[in-house]
Amino acid sequence: MYWDVKKVRPMDDYQIYVELEDGREGLFDLKPYLDHGVFKELKDKVYFSRVDVVFGAVTWPHEQDIAPETLLAGLKPTGSNNAEQGG
């Protein structure tokens, strides 16, 4: 699907770089989630770096994942496919 993630990479300051199948790319900030439920485990930077793509979704080994709607809503565009935007 158009929102499927094809690449994810952990970045500094609890952000992930994401490339979607439709060519969009950007950064998603996980800091707002780190004090809630299963996401607390992501505070461990070694564990955080184990982010991966499973069936087009951003996931970690202990089944944390980011819903596609949440990812799209919070994605800050980067790169040549998007004009630089503030916000």
* pTM for the structure as a whole: 0.86
23: left (phi over 0), alpha (psi -120 to 50) or beta: left
What is the spatial distance between Cα 74 and Cα 15, in angstroms, rounded to a whole number? 11
- Residue 84's alpha-carbon distances to 26, 65, 70, in angstroms, are 11, 27, 21
Contact 24, 11 (CB under 8 A): no
At the topology level, CATH places domain 5-77 in: NE0471 N-terminal domain-like (3.30.2020)
- Over the stretch 2-56, which tens digit does the pLDDT of each residue have? 679 999 999 999 999 999 999 999 999 999 999 999 999 999 999 999 999 999 9
Look up tokens 């944390």; give the residue: 64
Contact 33, 10 (CB under 8 A): no
